[in-house]
Structures are given as structure tokens and as C-alpha cells.
Amino acid sequence: KKKIKSAKKKLRVDFTKLDATLLPTVIIVGRPNVGKSALFNRLIRRREALVYNTPEDHVTRDIREGIAKLGDLRFRVLDSAGLETEATSGSILSRTTEMTGNVLARSQFAIFLIDVRDGLQPLDLEVGKWLRKHAHGIHTIVAMNKSESLDERGLLTAEAGHAYTLGFGDPIAISAETGFGMAELYETLRPLLEDYILQLPNDKHDQDDICLETKDNEHCKSPLQLAIVGRPNVGKSTLLNALLQEQRVMVGPEAGLTRDSIRAQFEFEERTVYLVDTAGWLQRSGKEKGPASLSIMQSRKSLMRAHVISLVLDAEEIAKTKTSMKHAEVVIARQAVDEGRALVVIVNKMDLLRGKHNSMLHEKIINAVPQEIQTLIPQVTGIPVVFVSALEGKGRVTVMRQVVDAYEKWCLRLPTARLNRWLRKVMSRHSWRDQATQPKIKYFTQVKARPPTFVAFLTGKMQLSDTDIRFLIKSLKEDFDLGGIPIRITQRSVP
Ligand code: GDP
Ligand code: GDP
């Protein structure tokens, strides 16, 4: 204590404005290089940090302390300098451990940071063991740092599974560097720190403040990544050309012509659109196994780089076979929505169904296809279907308006206050199994966009059933016009 006092004096930190001792304390722990300091710096931003250290060991064993600001949350944050195992260093270790142990004793909460790009390392397991031994009564949150790029690649789920085995509950994905996941960190900490929430005078309770991903507000303005997929000969290249409004892609009747990468860019209504290379998808024919399947693997990867996936179907083929989607098409559509992409279905070659004797067919297809798609892909309701003729060059605007619309919904962020007003209303609409077993949602919040992801914080023992979650998803879609967008809801218990 004396040490801290003298250190405070020496650094002349002005603590008069905010009495740090009244704030809850959160310590950041983790093996070296996982990004503890980076997270610490993000949390305290430009405010001053107090540094104190053991006299014997000035250089590396610092513990920094600062006041963190995360939305309307204020807490004291400690940056431990890295716990090390006996194996890595002998005597420094015991001192560090002892010191961190002391600091730990003054903390109510711990953020256990791991590096998601490295995956779980033996050292992480050691830290976990150490925490379990020393951190009794300290609520520990596991945060997978450096998640910024993995989010796009959809690899986080697997890593979250590993991190869960640490035994500290569901991990959250963050990036100390870009600010990705700070909203989720806020939502995780908020119920824990609720008693400590300090509303400072002149302190705007600013929701935007917690959406800290650097480019967050730019989200929907950032280039839209579009993938056009479909079986051979449905008219993907023709459609591409219509979108690009110039002949950049070779068009021909032979299957597999577009296998080579297409990376193009165009503007639509002041928006930049990137066409993601997905050639090869559904192009497999029995004969070519080697290189073709390789290109399918590659395209699958690139497919997941897209924000919006447009699946092109052939109207003439639908009329002939009387089925909207062939097996391969169903597979890819399901995969797209399971990966959290926005899906737009395009029924091409509608010109072939024009003319007197075809007008019935034309109408039938327009009515039947969306319905059939709904039954084939029950995971997402309201998938948009557009009917075009790429050959006639029509449909550029129709297709792009739908794609942009899907993208904007996919990026949507709903403020917590609005969501909770909404929640109160819908909860009364839902027929619960019975009053006694009805779960209590303390509040509901969107932790992520692209795709919209929500967390329900529950008090009490009851969990939301699958039916409850389906009901919430359906209501969100109806009330916020999110048709066709994959929506995710998870639940978390709070004391
Ligand atoms: P500490 O030893 O745990 O305090 O780790 P540092 O904060 O010093 O970070 C270690 C390295 O990881 C540095 O090179 C950081 O720039 C980098 N780093 C920290 N956070 C992130 C992140 O969110 N994403 C990425 N890509 N790198 C990060
Ligand atoms: P891809 O293999 O999916 O890239 O298909 P292509 O764009 O190469 O088109 C295959 C064939 O269908 C070509 O002969 C195109 O001219 C034709 N095609 C493409 N779109 C349309 C359309 O809207 N109407 C008609 N009638 N033919 C089309």
C-alpha cells in the first residue's frame, strides 16, 4: 500500500476527479504476448496509467493500473505483466507470481486473455491452472484476442470451443488492436459490474461509444463483397457482365469456363462492390476429380469471404424439372446461411418463359419458387428471390438493390435501449410453456453485426428453449425487417 501511495505521489496522477478505490477492479492476465498491454491501452485510452513495480525488478515486472472507460462502465484495470510457468523462468517467476497473486487478491474480476491465432498453448493451460488455484471468488472471463480477421473467416467458433475447455465459461472474441468485440466485452462485464456503474456528471451515456471497432460506423459504407454462385450455364458470367456493364468476363455455353478467378470491382449507386472469386463452385463434373475439387475447396474459402452470396438459378431448368433447387444448390445455400452470410437468390433466364403460352408458367414460377426455397432452407425465413434476364441486360438494378438491401440488414446494429423496449413487448406475445418455468430475460443486446448476433442475459435457473429462441428470431425478423438475414441468439446467465 505504501508503495502504491508513494508511486501515486511521484507520478502526480490526479485521482481527485475519480476515486479509483471505489471502483471495481479488473485484472488482465495471460501469458506473454497475448496482447494484455494492448487491451489495457485500449481500455484506458489516453488517460494516464499508474505504474508501480517491485524495487528489485523494475524493467519487466511492472503492473500498470488505470481507469477503464467502456461505454458507461468505469472500472479499475490492472495490466499484469505476464504470468510465467516454473519451466520458463525460475526465481523471477516466484516473485511475479507472488506479486500478481497479491494484485489478484485485490481484484474482483479477471480477463484471461488468449491469442486466438496461436490457439491454446500449454502456457495458457498453466495460467488457467494458476487462476483456478489463486483466483477464488474472482469472476474470470476468457477473451480470445486478435480475433479481428478470424471473424471474417468464420473460424472463431472452433477456437471458442477450445477456449471453453479452459473452464471459465463461454469465451468472447475481441481484438485489442482494432476494437472488435469491445461491445461484447461491455455486455459481458456490464451485468457483473452493474452495481458499480458510475454515471459521471457530463458523461454522455453514449451507445456509439461501445461499438469500438475502428471502422464500425463505416461498416455499411465499406465495400460490399459479393459472390455470385450457381451451377454451370445458369448465366453467372452473363449476369456478371450485366453488373459490370462491360465485357470483362468470357461468356460461353461450355461448363467450367469461368473456373479461373474473377476479381472485379464496380460501383453501384455510390457504393463500391467487390466481386469475390468463387469460380468452380458447383462446377464439378465426374471426370475431373483432382484440380476441380481443389478449386471447389478454394472457392469455398473465398465464398466465405463474401458478405452477400447470390445464388443464380435457371428459370428454364426450373420449369423443366419442376424443382426450384437441385441438391447442390440447396447445399450451397444452406452453407451460406449457416456461415452467417446474407443470401439472395436470383432466378435467371426469365425471358425464356415469356410469350403467350408461357405466361402461366411465368406466374407459377414467381409464386412457387420463393415458397419452395423457404421449405428447403428453413434456417432463414424471407430469403429474397429476384427474377431477371441477364441476357437482356435487365435486372442489374433489381439485383443490386436487393443485394445492397440484404447487406445493409446484415450490417444493422440495434441499440440496446430500443431492443429492450421491443423485448418487453414481444415477451408478452410469446406463449410460454408455463409461468413457473418461464425464463427471465434481464436484458437483451446486440453484440455483433455482420450477421446480427444477440445475447439474452438471463437471471434464474431457466434457460431459453429452442422454441423460445426461434420465436425471438422470428419476431426480430418481423419487427426489424430482417428477412433473409441469418440471425444468431445466444444466452448467458447472470447472477
Ligand atoms: P502482452 O505481452 O500480453 O502485454 O502483449 P502486448 O500487448 O505487448 O502484445 C503483443 C503483440 O501482439 C504486439 O505485437 C501487439 O501489437 C500484438 N497484438 C495485441 N493485440 C492484438 C490484436 O488484437 N490483434 C493483433 N493482430 N495483434 C495484436
Ligand atoms: P455460367 O456458366 O453460369 O457462367 O453461364 P453463362 O453466363 O456462360 O451462360 C450460359 C448460357 O446461358 C449462355 O449461352 C448465355 O448466353 C445463356 N444465358 C445467360 N443468361 C441468360 C438469360 O437471361 N436468358 C437467356 N435466354 N439465356 C441466358
Instruction: Encode pLDDT of 365-415 as tens digits.
Output: 999 999 999 999 988 888 999 999 998 877 888 999 999 999 999 988 888
Residue 232 has pLDDT above 50, yes or no: yes
Beta strands in 292-421 (DSSP E): 308-314, 342-348, 385-387
CA of 391 to the centre of ligand 2 (A): 7
- Nearest ligand, CA of residue 38? 1
- Kindly report, residue by residue over 169-184, the tens digit of the pLDDT: 889 999 998 888 888 8
> ω into residue 451 within 30 of 0, thus cis?
yes
Residue 53 has pLDDT above 50, yes or no: no
Residue 44 makes CB contacts below 8 A (sequence gap 6+) with: 66, 67, 68, 69, 77
Q: Which of 187-196, 387-396, 474-483 has the lowest mean pLDDT?
A: 187-196
Q: Is the CB of 302 under 6 A from ligand 2?
A: no
CA of 233 to the centre of ligand 2 (A): 6
Considering only residues 187 and 218, tell me which one the structure prediction assigns the higher pLDDT. 187
Nearest CA to ligand 1 atom 10: 33
CA of 177 to the centre of ligand 1 (A): 7
Locate the ligand 1 atom nearest the alpha carbon of residue 176 and give its number.
23
Nearest CA to ligand 1 atom 24: 146
- Nearest ligand, CA of residue 116? 1
Nearest CA to ligand 2 atom 24: 349
**Average model confidence (pLDDT) across the chain:** 75
Nearest CA to ligand 1 atom 20: 35
Mean pLDDT, rounded, for 36-59:
63
Residue 94 has pLDDT above 90, yes or no: no
| pLDDT score recorded for residue 343 | 94
Mean pLDDT, rounded, for 22-43:
87
Predicted model pTM: 0.55
Angstrom distances, CA of residue 154 to CA of 102, 160, 300 = 39, 11, 12
- Kindly report, residue by residue over 444-467, the tens digit of the pLDDT: 888 888 889 888 888 887 888 888
CA of 322 to the centre of ligand 2 (A): 20
47-61, 75-89, 297-311, range with greatest mean pLDDT: 297-311
Give CA–CA dist 123/410, Å, rounded. Answer: 38
Residue 292 has pLDDT above 70, yes or no: no
| pLDDT score recorded for residue 483 | 86
Nearest CA to ligand 1 atom 18: 35
Residues facing residue 224 across a β-bridge: 273
Considering only residues 461 and 434, tell me which one the structure prediction assigns the higher pLDDT. 461
Give CA–CA dist 235/459, Å, rounded. Answer: 53
CA of 137 to the centre of ligand 1 (A): 28
Q: Is the CB of 253 under 6 A from ligand 2?
A: yes
Locate the ligand 1 atom nearest the alpha carbon of residue 117 and give its number.
26
Pairing of strands 224-229, 488-493: unpaired
154-158, 222-226, 304-308, 377-381, range with greatest mean pLDDT: 377-381
Label residue 218 by pLDDT band (50, 70, 90).
Answer: very low
| pLDDT score recorded for residue 263 | 58
Alpha carbon dihedral 164, 170, 173, 174, in 10-degree steps, equals: -110
| pLDDT score recorded for residue 301 | 60
Three-state SS for 66?
A: strand
Q: Which of 261-270, 315-324, 349-358, 459-468 has the lowest mean pLDDT?
A: 261-270
Give CA–CA dist 26/76, Å, rounded. Answer: 6
- Nearest ligand, CA of residue 316? 2
Mean pLDDT, rounded, for 293-303:
52
Mean pLDDT, rounded, for 239-266:
56
Residue 341 has pLDDT above 80, yes or no: yes
Angstrom distances, CA of residue 466 to CA of 383, 433, 471, 472, 489 = 21, 12, 8, 10, 10
Considering only residues 358 and 227, tell me which one the structure prediction assigns the higher pLDDT. 227
| pLDDT score recorded for residue 420 | 87
- Nearest ligand, CA of residue 258? 2
- Kindly report, residue by residue over 134-163, the tens digit of the pLDDT: 777 788 999 999 998 876 556 677 788 788
Label residue 260 by pLDDT band (50, 70, 90).
Answer: very low
Residue 485 has pLDDT above 70, yes or no: yes
| pLDDT score recorded for residue 307 | 87
Kindly report the number of other CB atoms within 10 A of residue 301's CB atom: 12
Mean pLDDT, rounded, for 348-367:
83
Q: Which of 32-41, 139-148, 245-254, 346-355 has the lowest mean pLDDT?
A: 245-254
Give CA–CA dist 275/103, Å, rounded. Answer: 52
The answer to whether residues 495 and 460 touch, using CB atoms and an 8 Å cutoff, is: no
CA of 316 to the centre of ligand 2 (A): 11
Residue 204 has pLDDT above 70, yes or no: no
Q: Is the CB of 147 under 6 A from ligand 1?
A: no
